[in-house]
Amino acid sequence: MAESLRITVERNPSDARLSELNIKCWPKWGCSPGKYQLKFDAEETCYLLKGKVKAYPKGSESEYVEFGAGDLVVIPRGLSCTWDVSVAIDKHYKFESSSSSSS
């Protein structure tokens, strides 16, 4: 598995896109500024209402992905990273379940 896991960021998605995803019905999560070690056991899609983060993949101190308020972010399953949160986070999120259940 040589392919590196990448965080994808969609900047300022349209209201139509956010409605289509039904983001307002997703659970919310927040955290204060600081550094957090995170491991994603499932793919997470999140929409940041506020905040700013630099996500450093495990083992990298110079390569990072930066995202913040208004960004729709997809974090791949299996990724370990450090979130360096400079502005407190408030986000809607959902995890992809491994089963393909439709709701």
Considering the domain boundaries, does residue 19 fall inside one? yes
* pLDDT band, very low/low/confident/very high, at 101 (cuts 50, 70, 90): very low
Q: Is residue 20 assigned to a domain?
A: yes
Q: What is the pLDDT of residues 55-73, one digit of tens each?
A: 998 888 789 999 999 999 9
Q: What is the DSSP letter of 15?
A: H
Count of domains observed in the chain: 1
pLDDT at residue 97 tops 80: no
pLDDT at 18 over 60: yes
User: Strand locations in 1-103, DSSP E?
Assistant: 8-11, 28-31, 34-39, 44-57, 65-68, 71-75, 80-95
Whether residue 98 contacts residue 40, with contact meaning beta carbons closer than 8 Å, is answered with: no
For the residues 26-36, what does the mean pLDDT come to?
97
**Contact status, residue 7 vs residue 79, Cβ threshold 8 Å:** yes
pLDDT interval class at 103 (50, 70, 90): very low
CATH number of the domain residue 71 falls in: 2.60.120.10
C-alpha 54, offset from chain centre: 11
Q: Which residue has the tokens 């039904």?
A: 22
